[in-house]
Structure formats: C-alpha cells, structure tokens
C-alpha cells in the first residue's frame, strides 16, 4: 500500500480541482491530477495523493465502486513509477503496448519523407557521415587521445559506462529533491532518506517572504555511496502522495562549508550567512579582523559544531560575579577583594547561587532543566559515548555579559528569522532562543557563533531535544522571564528564605545553602509551598504517548485557567529487553493548586491518542518530591561521605571546608597527599547527616574552583586512601594489559 491512489472511470468533464475537492473529505490531499492526451482530452483516469498511507487506505475503502454523477469509479492503490508491479500496458497511449506500436508505425508511414526528420537532425547526420581527420590518420588520433585535457581522459577502463548522474552523486554525496508536498517537514525527509545511510544535513528550501516550503530540498549524505543508493531507491518513489524526483546536486560553495553542528549543518550559501551576520547588529560594529585573527576566527566558527567542546551549563565568571554583587548590593571590587583569603571559595559559592537561580528561572519559563543537566553530563569527553539528541530549532547562548538585555538578544537573533520564544534568566548567565523555522536557526548558528557581543565572544550550542515541554505562546517574540525589578542592572530574587548576613562571604554561603535547601534551583519552591496537589496524576495513557504530547494536551486548559504547565512526565518501566517502556500513567505539574484543580475539572475524561484519561490530584506525602536532597539521601548506597575529584592543586583544605560548610556540618575533610607534600587532586568530605551531604552534592557538582570543574561523587562508607590506591592500581594493570609489551632489555655485560 502507498499514499497515492489511482482512480479509473472518471467523467470526461472532471478537472484537477474537482478531483481534489471530491477526495479531500477523506484526508489531506497533496496531489490531484487527471491524465490527459496531447490534445487535452481526458483519458478518464487520474491520481490522488494523500499525506499518509492510512488516509489513502480510508479513501480506497470509502470511494471504491462508488459513483461520480452517473459514472462508476474504481479506486485502487497506485504503484511506483517504473516498478515491477505494474500490469502489461494495453492502451494506444502507453509505450510498450502493441496498439501504441501500430499507432507510431501508421504515423511514420503517413508522414512525407522530408518531414520525418528535421533540418537540424539532417545536418547532424551529414556531419557524422563525413570522416574526421583523425579517422583517416591513426597517428593523429593517438596523438589527440594522449594530449587531451586530464579531465576528459578516462582514468579507469569502465569510465565510459559510468552514468553521468551516478558519477556526480558519487563525487558530492548531495541530492536535489523536488516535487515535495508543501506540508512536508525536514523531519519527514530525515525519516525517508535516513533509511539509506547517515545524513549530514537536510535543508528544506522555504520562501523568504511567506516562510512556506517551495517544494524542493537538498539532502547531504556522509557517505556518497549511500546517496547513490538513496537516489536509486527514491527517484520516482511515492512520498506523502507525490512522486519524488531526485537529481544530483552541485557541491556547496567553499564559503558555506562551515557547518552548524551534527545533523544541524549548514545548507545554504555563504552570502546568506554573511547577510544575517551583518543584519544582526547588537555589538558587531568592530571592524573585521584580518590576517591571523581572521584565520583564528574562521577556525573557531568552523569548529562551533564540535560537541566535545560544548559545556551546556557554562557560565562566564565575570557575569557570575556581577550577578552576585548586584544581588547583595555591593560592587564587584568589594566582592572580589584581592586581600580576601577565601576569594576562590567565595566565587565558587557565588556560582552555586547563580546556577540555582538560573535553573529556577528556566523552569518557570517552561524549560526542562533535567534535559539541560543531562546534556551537560554528556559534554566534553563523554560526547562520543553518551550523545544527547539536539533540537533543530532551539539554541543555547552562553558567555553572555551581565549588561546584555532581552531586547538586544531579540534584535540580534531576530535578524536571522522569526523567534518562537526567548528565555533570558535574571542572572544573565545563559539564554535559550527558539526559532520558528529550523533553517533560520541554522543561519543564526553560522552567523552568530563567536560573534562579539559587547566585548566578549558569543558561545552557541544546540539545545537538547525537547528542552521545552509546551508549545510556544500564541504570537510575537515571546520573552518568558522578565527582570524582577525592571532596572538596567536588576537585583536577583533570593532562592527561598533570604537572610541578611554581615560580610560578603557569609552572604554568598547563605544564598548557596538556601538554594540547595530549595532543591537545587529546579523551580519547585512554589509547588512545594502549594503542596503536591499542584500536580495532576494522569491514568490510562496510551503506551505510545510521549511527554511532549501530554504537555501539549494540557497546555490550553492550564493557560485558560491563568497558569502554565511547568513539567509533564510519563512514567516508564524496563521491558524484557531492557528498553524503557511507558507504564501507562504520568504526571502534569501546574503552577498552582487552583490552576491544577481547574484543569482537572476541564480535562477529566478527555481523549488523548485514543485513550480516555482518568485524572486526579497527586496525593503523595508532603516532601516526597519537594525536597530532592532528602529523596537522594534515602537512595540505597548513599551515605554521608563525598569524594570531590578534579580539585586544583592550588586548593587547600580551608578552601574545601569553606565551599562545603554552608550546606551542613562538616565532620571531616581530607586531602590525601603525595610524598612531596602536595595533594593528589581529590578530597573526602564527610557530613553529619545524609540530607546535608545530598544537598551539597546536588549544589556543588559542576562548580568551578580555581578554574577547574569539580566532580562530586558518593563515597562508600569504608572507602579511603587505601581503597582508592587499589582502584588506581587495578586501572593501571588493566591499561598495561592492553598496551603492547616493551622490548626486552639486554643484560649488563652482554655482548
């Protein structure tokens, strides 16, 4: 079965428009055509294409053996053009039939001798009849064959048999696809062409004025052989009711070779990227660098899509210091007092505080903080083994200066295309920018990566897939997080209970501890205050329902009640093969208890993916999910001791205690040392209770101390220096076993 149907017995007066209108009652019609003769008369059959195979199947069952006026039609599935399932041709209009051969023979016999061949064809035959000079002289023919240009010479013996189209595809690995349905998306093309090999980029050409598809696309494969196989399989194939036409595409210009990263690579010409870069003002007034600087900037832009260099939750230290100073009403000079003994710990605690507030603000704006944390864990050296799917329309902007405003970012990114939403937390540490069209997002990535914004380069990264659980608001450029005080340098709202402390170090420590007690800044403060009744328990979910579909189903009802969907989750379980399967129920978290109750009343009994939902307020015990530190402390295998790795060699025990002290009472802190007196780059921190250890682990993980990113892990209760030495020795022995054996040394005194 295909998504294209063939209709036989159509009345002669039927047009393409009437055929489309007649069959559109059973689905989305992408193509409708009545086959006609050369003189325009109808051959009384045609083709109708539907968006999906299911719609075509319904149309066949509904319309087959029905009547259009007084004509009875037959509807059946269409076969691929040139496929082996076609019946033997019998019509006089179809090539290959005996009736067609008779018609051609009669026309040739009836035509005069001179009219059978045009003047141009006659001249070509006359030129071919004349003998060429090289044909008369074999030595001249050999000389011309040897001295012909290299591009015309045959390198292999079978070069002449190679088809030009196949040769072009083998050279570039790029395909030009036309006759696409206007409703087709890049995701549809990825699904269709991805079956034949790994794709590097898919670019759907859209009209710049209307932002609608033009029905053509460019598909770039990683391996040219896969492109050739895809062209052979899909040329003339039925795709969403239309017949694809696949041609070899020319290689992109050298200036457009800089890619946007992974599957979101560049697909447009370099002049588009340059035009977008010039249109995006916002700090691009500096003259273009030349020489070494230009080469270095070009290399950075070309490497912007390297996932190993991405750090999702990277925050500019200067922005962190400015945010903390603005929050406590002090200057940066006072905060970064050069004579202070605890300056590294003070900056680390400030980063903890800013990270907590940033996560909370992103959660309030509808972003999935867990997806960002998973992407951060999969960055760096783990990018190859733990790849995280990336969005095609959402960008993560980092290394922002604290003075940047939402209007500046909207103008900067809006020059590349319409924005769906823009989220800038009050901390100014990073921003999430979502475009309406994937092509605009790619253009922005190419044009703005490492572009100067104020006085610093802009770091761009593709956001994780599904970073936004709900669809963007209705219209316009949406800015989801407002400055709480509305000033040019806004102060930050405290995370949880704020306490006025004397001294800047005590203030930063109190803020970090408050953020940790509120759950690491995941945006659960008002939910915890309102109780667990702000979460709706959803039963009877279809096993194929995803988190995004669940959030979109409740979004309209929650928005109508004056709230927002903060998160949606589908519970899973492990199947027999180890894969995650839906458990048939989920949770939708609203912004308040009143909004959750109103949405429950409205959505009770609604149908999602063919299943009637059963809703009730979540009745978990208070604090079961409001305090992740307590939940983490109850997990098996987690005690009160933490291992802190990647500690800078400049750090001291006093710095570690100052960093972890605000989260609870530290019983002991040890930095194992070498024989020369320097420590080994890791530390043990033991807390009085499990809850304090869990809060510290959740808050400090990923914080930078002396410029190095700390890795916080749980330590076994009995794990100490001897156990770590044993583990290190075991790893060394495993590495030695894998390494090649060294050459045997000669004994002393041997000849």
Other Cβ atoms less than 10 A from the Cβ of 600: the count is 21
Structure tokens, 233: 């399989």
Q: Closest Cα to residue 514, out of 495, 535, 534?
A: 495
**How confident is residue 715, by pLDDT bands cut at 50, 70 and 90?**
confident
- Compute the distance between CA of residue 546 and CA of residue 72 in angstroms, rounded to an integer: 44
Strands 456-457 and 459-464: unpaired
DSSP label at 704? Answer: E
Nearest 5°: phi and psi at 89? -65, 140
Average pLDDT, integer, range 319-324:
86
- Residue listed under structure tokens 């209760």: 717
Q: In 3-state terms, what secondary structure has residue 121?
A: helix
Residue whose token pair is 């149908």: 607
Q: What is the C-alpha to C-alpha distance for residues 476 and 320, in angstroms, rounded to an integer? A: 31
Phi, psi for residue 377 in degrees, rounded to 5: -70, -25
CA distance 207 to 217: 12
Residue 30: closest CA among 14, 18, 44, 47: 47
- pLDDT tens sequence across 650-684: 899 999 999 998 888 898 999 999 888 889 899 99
Q: Which of 15-19, 150-154, 276-280 has the lowest mean pLDDT?
A: 276-280
Longest dimension (CA), the chain: 111
In the predicted structure, residue 494 carries a pLDDT above the cut 90: no
Percent of the chain having pLDDT more than 70?
72
Q: Is the Cβ–Cβ distance between 642 and 714 less than 8 Å? A: yes
pLDDT in tens, 59-81: 999 999 999 988 999 999 998 77
- What DSSP assignment string belongs to 282-313? SS--SPPP-THHHHHHHHHHHTTT-GGG--TT
pLDDT confidence band for 477 (50 / 70 / 90): very low
Nearest to 225 by CA among 201, 191, 198, 189: 198
**Token digits of residue 63:** 């319309």
CB contact at 8 A, 365 and 527: no
Q: For the chain, how big is the Rg over CA atoms in Å?
A: 34
What tens digit of pLDDT does each residue of 408-426 get? 999 999 988 889 999 999 9
Which H or E run contains 571?
A: strand 565-574
The pTM assigned to this predicted structure is 0.58
**Residue 322 to residue 410: CA distance in whole angstroms:** 22
Q: Identify the residue with better confidence: 300 or 183.
A: 183
Give the span between the Cα atoms of 445 and 395, in whole angstroms: 8
CA distances (Å), origin 666, targets 518, 629, 640: 20, 16, 10
Does residue 19 surpass a pLDDT of 90?
Answer: yes
Q: Which of 173-182, 297-306, 320-329 has the lowest mean pLDDT?
A: 297-306
Buried b (16+ CB within 10 A) or exposed e, 46-76: bbbbbbebebbbebbeebeeeebeeeebebe
pLDDT value of position 329: 80
Residue 46 pLDDT more than 90? Answer: yes
- The angle subtended at Cα 516 by Cα 487 and Cα 504, nearest 5°, is 55
pLDDT average, residue stretch 530-547:
78
pLDDT score of 276 more than 90: no
Q: Binning pLDDT at 50, 70 and 90, where does residue 98 land?
A: confident
What is the C-alpha to C-alpha distance for residues 607 and 542, in angstroms, rounded to an integer?
A: 10
Q: What is the dihedral of CA 133, 139, 140, 145, to 10 degrees?
A: 120
């Amino acid at each position: 079965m295909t998504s294209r149907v063939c209709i036989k017995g159509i009345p002669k007066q039927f047009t393409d428009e009437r055929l489309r209108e007649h069959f559109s009652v059973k689905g989305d019609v992408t193509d409708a055509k009545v086959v006609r003769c050369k003189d325009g008369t109808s051959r009384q059959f045609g083709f109708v294409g539907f968006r999906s195979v299911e719609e075509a199947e319904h149309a066949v069952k509904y319309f087959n053996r029905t009547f259009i006026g007084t004509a009875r039609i037959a509807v059946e599935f269409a076969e691929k053009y040139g496929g082996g399932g076609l019946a033997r041709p019998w019509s006089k209009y179809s090539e290959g039939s005996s009736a067609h051969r008779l018609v051609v023979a009669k026309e040739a016999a009836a035509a005069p001798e001179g009219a059978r061949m045009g003047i141009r064809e006659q001249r070509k035959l006359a030129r071919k009849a004349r003998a060429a000079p090289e044909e008369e002289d074999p030595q001249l023919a050999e000389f011309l064959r040897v001295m012909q240009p290299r591009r015309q010479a045959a390198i292999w013996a079978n070069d002449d048999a190679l088809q030009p189209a196949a040769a072009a595809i083998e050279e570039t690995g790029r395909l030009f696809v036309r006759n696409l349905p206007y409703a087709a998306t890049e995701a549809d093309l990825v699904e269709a062409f991805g079956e034949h090999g790994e794709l590097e980029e898919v670019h759907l050409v859209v009209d710049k004025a209307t932002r609608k598809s033009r029905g053509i696309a460019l598909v770039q494969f990683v391996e040219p052989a896969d492109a050739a196989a895809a062209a052979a399989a899909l040329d003339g194939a039925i795709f969403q009711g239309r017949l694809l036409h696949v041609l070899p595409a020319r290689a992109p210009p050298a200036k457009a070779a800089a890619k946007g990263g992974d599957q979101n690579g560049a697909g447009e010409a370099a002049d588009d990227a340059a035009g977008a870069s010039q249109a995006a003002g916002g700090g691009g007034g500096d003259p273009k660098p030349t020489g070494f600087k230009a080469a270095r900037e070009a290399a950075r832009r070309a490497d912007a899509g390297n996932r190993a260099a991405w750090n999702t939750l990277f925050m500019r230290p200067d922005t962190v210091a400015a945010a903390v100073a603005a929050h406590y009403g002090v200057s940066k000079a006072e905060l970064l007092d050069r004579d202070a003994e605890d300056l590294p710990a003070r900056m680390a605690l400030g980063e903890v505080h800013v990270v907590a507030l940033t996560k909370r603000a992103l959660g309030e704006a509808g972003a999935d903080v867990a997806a960002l944390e998973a992407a951060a864990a999969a960055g760096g050296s783990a990018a190859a083994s733990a790849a995280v799917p990336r969005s095609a329309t959402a960008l993560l902007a980092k290394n922002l200066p604290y003075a940047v405003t939402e209007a500046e970012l909207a103008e900067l990114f809006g020059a590349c295309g319409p924005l769906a939403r823009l989220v800038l937390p009050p901390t100014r540490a990073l921003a999430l920018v979502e475009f309406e069209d994937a092509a605009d997002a790619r253009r922005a990535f190419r044009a703005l990566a490492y572009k100067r914004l104020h006085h610093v380069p802009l770091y761009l990264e593709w956001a994780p897939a599904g970073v936004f659980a709900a669809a963007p608001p209705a219209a316009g450029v949406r800015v989801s997080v407002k400055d709480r005080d509305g000033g040019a340098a806004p102060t930050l709202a405290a995370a949880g209970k704020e306490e006025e402390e004397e001294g800047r170090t005590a203030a930063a420590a109190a803020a970090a501890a408050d953020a940790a007690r509120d759950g690491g800044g995941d945006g659960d403060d008002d939910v915890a205050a309102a109780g667990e009744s702000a979460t709706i328990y959803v039963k009877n979910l279809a096993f194929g329902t995803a988190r995004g579909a669940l959030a979109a189903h409740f979004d309209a009802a929650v928005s109508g009640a004056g709230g927002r969907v903060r998160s949606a989750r589908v519970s899973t379980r492990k199947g027999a093969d180890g894969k995650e399967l839906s458990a048939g129920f989920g949770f939708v978290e609203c912004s308040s208890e009143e909004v959750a109750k109103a949405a429950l009343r409205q959505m009770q009994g609604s149908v999602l993916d063919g299943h009637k939902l059963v809703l009730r307020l979540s009745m978990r015990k208070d604090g079961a999910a409001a305090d992740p530190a307590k939940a983490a402390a109850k997990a098996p295998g987690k005690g009160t001791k933490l291992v802190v790795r990647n500690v800078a060699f400049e750090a001291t025990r006093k710095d570690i205690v100052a960093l972890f002290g605000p989260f609870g009472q530290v019983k002991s802190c040890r930095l194992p040392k070498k024989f020369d007196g320097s420590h080994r780059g890791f530390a043990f921190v033991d807390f009085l209770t499990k809850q304090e250890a869990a809060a510290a682990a959740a808050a400090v993980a990923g914080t930078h101390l002396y410029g190095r990113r700390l890795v916080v892990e749980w330590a076994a209760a009995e794990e100490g220096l001897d156990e770590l030495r044993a583990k290190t020795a075991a790893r060394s022995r495993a590495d030695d076993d894998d390494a090649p054996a060294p050459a045997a040394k000669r004994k002393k005194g041997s000849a």
